[in-house]
Homo-oligomer: A and B are copies of this chain.
Amino acid sequence: MATINRNYDKLEGGYLFSEIVRRTKVFQEKHPGVILLRLGIGNTTEALTPSIIKGLQIGVAKLADPKTYTGYGDEQGDIRLRSAFVDWYKKRGIKLTTSEIFISDGAKPDSANIQSIFGEKSIIAISDPAYPVYVDAAIIGGRKVVYMSCTKENGFIPSLPNEKVDIMYICSPNNPTGAVATKKQLQLFVDYARAHKAIIIFDAAYSEYISDPDLPKSIYEIPGAKTCAIEINSFSKWAGFTGVRLGWTVVPLDLIVEGTEKGKVNSLWNRRQITMFNGASNIAQVGGLAVLSAQGQKECEELIVYYMKNAGIIKNGLVKIGLKVFGGENAPYIWLKTPNDLSSWEFFDKLLNESHVVGTPGSGFGPCGEGYLRLSAFGHREDIERAVKSIEKNLKL
Seen from chain A, the residues whose Cβ lies within 8 Å of a Cβ on chain B are: 1-6, 8, 11, 15, 17-18, 41, 43-48, 50, 53, 56-57, 60-61, 63-66, 69-73, 75, 105-106, 108-109, 112-113, 116-122, 132-133, 136-137, 140, 142, 164, 166-167, 196-199, 236, 240, 242-245, 257-260, 264-265, 268, 271-272, 274-284, 378, 380
Contacts and interface: CB of A to CB of B under 8 A. Distances in A.
A11 B270 CA distance: 13
B244 A63 contact: yes
B245 A281 contact: yes
Contacts of A41: 72
A56 B60 contact: yes
B240 A71 contact: yes
Given A8-B117, A48-B63, A283-B284, 11 more contacts: A4-B257, A41-B72, A43-B71, A56-B60, A56-B283, A66-B380, A71-B240, A105-B245, A106-B278, A133-B276, A245-B278
A258 B4 CA distance: 9
A274 to B, nearest CB: 5
Q: How many copies does the complex hold?
A: 2
A339 B6 CA distance: 50
Most chain-B CB neighbours within 10 Å: which of A18, A60, A272?
A60
A47 B18 contact: no
B2 A257 contact: yes
A257 B119 contact: no
Contact of A3 (B72, B166, B240, B245): B166
B283 A18 contact: no
Contacts of A284: 281, 283
A380 B48 CA distance: 35
B257 A63 contact: no
B63 A53 contact: yes
Contact of A118 (B3, B73, B265, B378): B3
Question: Lowest 6 A-B CB distances belong to which pairs?
Answer: A3-B119, A71-B242, A243-B282, A43-B71, A112-B276, A1-B197
B278 A281 contact: no
B275 A244 contact: no
Contacts of A166: 1-3
A268 B277 CA distance: 20
Contact of A279 (B45, B50, B245): B245
A51 to B, nearest CB: 11
Contact of A283 (B44, B70, B272, B281): B281
Contact of A57 (B60, B119, B142, B265): B60
A264 B45 contact: no
Nearest to A65: B47
